[in-house]
Amino acid sequence: MVDKRLWREARTVRFLLALTVGLGLGAGLLAVVQAGYLARVVNRVFLEGQDLSGVWLLLLALLGVIIFRAVLAWVSEVMAFRVAARIKYDLRQRLLEHLLALGPVYVRGEHSGELVNLLVEGVEAVETYFARYLPQLALAALVPLAILGFAFPIDLTAGLILFFTAPLIPLFMYLIGGWAQTLTLQQWETLSRMSAHFLDVLQGLTTLKIFGQSKAQARVMAWISDRFRKTSLGVLRVAFLSALVLEFLATISTALVAVTVALRLVYARIPFEEALFLLLLAPEFYLPLRLLGTHFHAGMAGASAAGRIFEILETPLPQKRSCGEVHLAPGAGLHVAFEGVYYTYSDKEHPALEDVSFDLAPGERVALVGPSGAGKSTVASLLLRFIEPQGGRITVNGVPLDRIPAEQWRRYVALVPQHPYLFYGSIAENIRLGRPEASLDEVMAAAKRAGAHSFIQGLPRGYDTPVGEGGIRLSGGQAQLLAIARAFLKNAPLLVLDEATAALDPATEELIHQALESLMAGRTVLVIAHRLATVYRAHRILVLHGGRVVERGQHEELLKRQGVYHRLVSAYGGVQ
């Protein structure tokens, strides 16, 4: 199945691939010409007693054939790697675009280390399949057939030996191949798991040190690395074994041709020049088959990586039910309504949301609370168009949300998450993600409104200070202030706050509360609260439980009902 999909990929570069195979076939035919000239030179010098003056033209021709053959082989190699480079670029581009289209909901369920390893090492492994294995597969069929066309007219017996011994090499390669493919797949899976675990350990190294678990994880990493070592050695063992078998078969077959030709030469059944020509052709006949065996294991490694690549590429994108695009008027207030929304994740048995209905009026602050797994994050993902409702609908100012282009809609929505992600780059570049075309003055103005300007000015290079991947050089509060600055810079009418003040010290929490109060002014706000201290200032509270909105109202009103909200407040120690 994987091979079929790889063959489909090869169709996109069929011209370059055909050129690669054609050049390789040309080099194979020149090997026949080279053997012919060499046999003629040896015959004239050895049997006819000619000196250098009698064969120098043949020697020049032989030198020209050797040079021309080397040039063809070199150009064939260049073309093969161009084929692989084109396909690698296309695969990486499609993989990145597909992952972006699948959105954070899909990526959140995957290991970052495994995806990075797939994009880098996985796609690189595919290169060998297209640059080495695939062209050699065609040459292993074409070159021996071309040589047989020269061998049969000269000597039927030698031709029959070549014809019947040639299939033995692919046969043994096929027999060993199943075993090798299983081991190669295990090797790739072990490498993927090791990459994923290693990155997770690096990202959580501080936490591991705090809880004294770093040495335990070091032992786990040593165990995984040793397992990968053993799997790799198993693959190498099979590769060396198959190479030994294929070389042995090729050597025995060449020796059989040599013995047959020598006996016929002794009994004067064949001229010396033709006998030497056949003897020189025998290694060239088996060479493409031996090279195919050499590249077979590298090709299997590429096929194993390609299996995971195509698994992601064939993952269906979030369902879109657009039936004509509608563009929102600039500056219009937003009235968002959920009407009987239903959504179930593919790996879950129970729906994440079931018959959920509520609305967000322009300028209203609505808090969404509920236990873990109630569906709060699913509501945020639906609002951000990372996923689409499987039932019901979401409307904006009376217009179905799926009729508004996703890119345009996301310009109307700002998200301040619980754990904002900061990318490798400067402070200014990370804030500018809210509006990439913003000037530095606008970035600074947004940072001042978010309360981040003072700490940024205290950094060594101010707004040009490198942040580091994941904001590793900043505290949690500083990262949160930059996320709020992004939202100020974006200036979107709809704001989604996903517990923006969690796990902060009191002073930083108060600073962020002030920034958020300023940010929420005049905007439609949905606060997704994982703890109840953040919901008191909301105009309305929605309580999610089991994927349904089970209660709605204000804080005091919900407490009096003695329902789910009351139990949540009690579980968190009451009202503070």
152-171 per-position pLDDT tens digit: 888 888 888 888 888 887 77
Tell which wins on pLDDT, 575 or 28: 28
User: 70-79, 193-202, 283-292, 387-396: lowest mean pLDDT where?
Assistant: 193-202
Q: Please indicate, yes or no, if residue 542 is contained in any of the structural domains.
A: yes
Residues 374-401 have a mean pLDDT of 87
Q: 3-state class of 250 per DSSP?
A: helix
Q: Which helix or strand (DSSP H or E) is residue 358 part of?
A: strand 353-360
Are 421 and 477 found together in one domain? Answer: yes
d(CA 180, CA 184): 6
- CA 447, distance to chain mean position in Å, is 35
d(CA 271, CA 265): 7
Q: How far is CA 16 from CA 75, 87, 125, 132, 438, in A?
A: 11, 11, 20, 14, 44
Q: Please indicate, yes or no, if residue 58 is contained in any of the structural domains.
A: yes
User: 69-78, 364-373, 427-436, 466-475: lowest mean pLDDT where?
Assistant: 466-475
pLDDT at 501: 60
Are 452 and 517 found together in one domain? Answer: yes
Look at the chain and report how many structural domains it folds into. Answer: 2
Q: Please indicate, yes or no, if residue 215 is contained in any of the structural domains.
A: yes
Burial label for 281, CB within 10 Å (0-12, 13-18, 19+), is buried
Are 103 and 251 found together in one domain? Answer: yes
Q: Which helix or strand (DSSP H or E) is residue 177 part of?
A: helix 168-203
Are 347 and 281 found together in one domain? Answer: no
pLDDT at 576: 39
Helix-strand-coil percent breakdown of the chain, rounded to 5? 65, 10, 25
Tell which wins on pLDDT, 324 or 107: 107
Are 293 and 343 found together in one domain? Answer: no
Are 298 and 445 found together in one domain? Answer: no
Task: Indicate the pTM of the whole model.
Answer: 0.68
Q: Please indicate, yes or no, if residue 97 is contained in any of the structural domains.
A: yes
Q: What angle do CA 338, 344, 349 make, to 5 degrees?
A: 145
d(CA 316, CA 148): 49
Look at residues 260, 282, 313 and tell me which one is the last residue of a structural domain. 313
Are 395 and 305 found together in one domain? Answer: no
Are 455 and 532 found together in one domain? Answer: yes
Residue 71: pLDDT over 90: yes
Question: Can you read off the two tokens belonging to residue 430?
Answer: 């990370």
Tell which wins on pLDDT, 364 or 570: 364
pLDDT tier, 474 (very low <50, low <70, confident <90, very high otherwise): confident
Place of tokens 């959140």: 108
- Domain carrying residue 552: 336-571
pLDDT at 2: 46
pLDDT tier, 66 (very low <50, low <70, confident <90, very high otherwise): very high
The CATH number covering residue 397 comes to 3.40.50.300
152 CB contacts (<8 Å, ≥6 apart)? 159
Tell which wins on pLDDT, 430 or 48: 430
Residue 255: pLDDT over 60: yes
pLDDT at 67: 94
Residue 399 neighbours by CB distance under 10 Å: 13
Are 144 and 221 found together in one domain? Answer: yes
The CATH number covering residue 169 comes to 1.20.1560.10
Are 305 and 398 found together in one domain? Answer: no
Q: Please indicate, yes or no, if residue 318 is contained in any of the structural domains.
A: no
d(CA 400, CA 394): 6
Report which DSSP code applies to 105. Answer: H
d(CA 267, CA 155): 14
d(CA 520, CA 358): 20
Q: Write the pLDDT tens digit of every residue in 193-230.
A: 777 667 677 667 767 777 777 777 778 778 878 877 87
Are 270 and 164 found together in one domain? Answer: yes
409 with 395: CB under 8 angstroms? Answer: no
Residue 109: pLDDT over 70: no
Place of tokens 């500018």: 432
Residue 250: pLDDT over 90: no
Radius of gyration of the chain (CA): 35
Tell which wins on pLDDT, 400 or 349: 400
Are 239 and 278 found together in one domain? Answer: yes
DSSP sequence for 187-206: HHHHHHHHHHHHHHHHHTHH
48 CB contacts (<8 Å, ≥6 apart)? none
Look at residues 260, 280, 313 and tell me which one is the last residue of a structural domain. 313
- Do you know the residue count of the chain? 576
184 with 237: CB under 8 angstroms? Answer: no
Residues 387-405 have a mean pLDDT of 87
Q: Please indicate, yes or no, if residue 325 is contained in any of the structural domains.
A: no
Q: How far is CA 44 from CA 37, 41, 49, 64, 252, in A?
A: 11, 5, 6, 19, 30
Question: Can you read off the two tokens belonging to residue 492?
Answer: 């979107």
From edge to edge, which strands make up the β-sheet containing 524-528? 413-416, 494-498, 524-528, 365-369, 540-545, 548-553
Q: Please indicate, yes or no, if residue 433 is contained in any of the structural domains.
A: yes
Q: What is the 3-state secondary structure (H, E, C) of 507-546?
A: HHHHHHHHHHHHHHCCCEEEEECCCHHHCCCCCEEEEEEC
Q: Please indicate, yes or no, if residue 477 is contained in any of the structural domains.
A: yes
User: 201-210, 218-227, 500-509, 534-543: lowest mean pLDDT where?
Assistant: 500-509
User: 10-14, 209-213, 358-362, 548-552: lowest mean pLDDT where?
Assistant: 10-14
Q: What's the whole-number average pLDDT of the chain?
A: 81
